[in-house]
Amino acid sequence: MAALLAAAVLSGCGSASRREQAPVPPPPTGGGYYLDDGPGANPPADINAIPDAVPRPEPLSRGTMRPYVVMGRSYTPMTRLEPYRASGIASWYGRRYHGKPTSSGEPYDMYAMTAAHTTLPIPSYVRVTNASNGRSVVVRVNDRGPFVDDRLIDLSYTAAHKLGIVANGSGPVDVELILPGESAPTIAAAPPPLEPAPPPPVAVREPEPAAAPSPVVVAPPVAVAPPASPAPVPVMATPPAASSAPPASAPATTATAGAGGYYLQIGAFGSKSNAEKLIARLKTQLSWLADTLHLYADDGLFRVRAGPFASRGEATVAADRVRAEIRIKPLVLTR
């Protein structure tokens, strides 16, 4: 029964039709993984010895930047590399998709350190940390998914194994984008290095037939550094109800962002509802920070921020306290 429940989360790992045409390796004896997915019959001798992905400058794929719709839900991918941090549930996909094309056009390798995300640039690199045990890995995002509610990222089998979530099928994680020129960011408690589509649709791991677009190379990340964007517009998040249920979305009220001070960016989401859920959680767990929480809509993302703080030192002290209490490390920003 545990295996059946664990495998249910893998339903978000649908693919373009070309994936369905590839032969599926026979499942090992026993198990109850979704649609015969699961670990391979002959995994490497020492999966833990497989190294993490190494961040390096790569051209972004223009073909994976177009907005798309999967199962009635719209997704708007990021078109440049910029600070991103989010917390949510990670799942994984295995032998059913091994060798089939990813959204980047590369074949999926369940034993490589890769991942699928609905909106992050392709390719990009992220550090994923298991919030339950502190284990941390660096993976390369080269695919779209998962498309199941409340799933943030789909990991390769090896990445999930190293994080310790293979047996349960999923687990809570923190995800942070690694920007060009940065070393892999450190998250508290992590050991050292260890979201029909307008035609043509983007190639996604989704059961509806769709041709995977040929990747079009754009400038390397260093050349596509984002220009200075206007100050984001804050939208006050709806306060949580007395119960633990997430608050209902309210119409956004527009106001001009404060010109001075320092802010903590605690999360960035493609979905407004996910950002509001985080704010509700923070107001419950961090009551001392509740009155400073805001939701900013900026460049297609919904950013959860706290502030303003009078000085960088004050903001840094608050960031350290957030990290210590809920294991999320905020970014300190000037607006």
DSSP 47-79: GGGSPPP-------BGGG-S-EEETTEEE---S
**Mean pLDDT confidence for 282-298:** 90
Whether the pLDDT of residue 249 is over 80: the answer is no
- Determine the average pLDDT of the residues in 132-158: 92
In this structure, what is the dihedral angle of CA atoms 9, 10, 16, 17, given to the nearest 10 degrees? Answer: -120
pLDDT at site 149? 77
Give the pLDDT band of residue 77 (cuts 50, 70, 90): very high
Which among 149, 83, 140 is positioned nearest to 301, based on CA atoms?
A: 83
Domains present along the chain, CATH in parentheses: 2-36+50-178 (2.40.40.10), 233-242+255-333 (3.30.70.1070)
Cβ–Cβ < 8 Å for 167, 9:
no
Residue 219 has pLDDT above 90, yes or no: no
Highest mean pLDDT among 36-50, 191-205, 228-242, 313-327: 313-327
Q: How far is CA 226 from CA 94, 135, 223, 259, in A?
A: 35, 31, 9, 20
Taken in order 293, 297, 303, 309, the sign of the CA dihedral is negative
The predicted structure's pLDDT at residue 137: 95
Is the pLDDT confidence value at 230 over 60?
Answer: no
- Position of tokens 């990813």? 102
Residues counted in the chain: 335
Per-chain mean pLDDT for the chain = 74
Residue 82 tokens, joined: 């910029």
pLDDT of residue 266 exceeding 60: yes
Contact 64, 119 (CB under 8 A): no
Amino acid at 325: E
Give the residue from 130, 136, 113 showing the smallest Cα distance to 191.
136
Q: Please state which of the ranges 27-41, 133-147, 221-235, 236-250 shows the lowest mean pLDDT.
A: 236-250
Query: For position 181, what pLDDT does the model report?
Result: 77
Q: With 60 as the cut, is the pLDDT of residue 232 above it? A: no
Give how far the C-alpha of residue 277 lies from the chain's centroid of Cα atoms, to the nearest Å.
Answer: 16
Q: What is the average pLDDT across 177-201?
A: 51
Q: Which of 228, 236, 223 is nearest to 295 (CA)?
A: 236
* Start-to-end Cα distance in the chain: 49
**What one-character DSSP code corresponds to residue 162?**
H
Instruction: Compute the C-alpha angle 93/279/264, nearest 5°.
Output: 95
* Predicted pLDDT at 240: 42
Please check the confidence at residue 299 and state whether its pLDDT lies above 90. Answer: no
Kindly state the average pLDDT of the residues 106-110. Answer: 93
Q: Residue 188's pLDDT band (boundaries 50, 70, 90)? A: very low
More confident residue, 276 or 257: 276
Mean pLDDT (whole number) for 138-152: 92
**Beta strands across the sheet bearing 331-333:** 233-235, 293-298, 301-309, 262-269, 331-333
Look up the pTM and report it: 0.50
CA neighbours within 13 Å on the CB side: how many for 83?
Answer: 15
- Better-scored residue on pLDDT, 257 or 296: 296
Q: Point out which residues pair with 130 in neighbouring strands.
A: 173
Q: Which pLDDT band holds residue 205 (cuts at 50, 70, 90)?
A: low
Residue 214, pLDDT score: 44
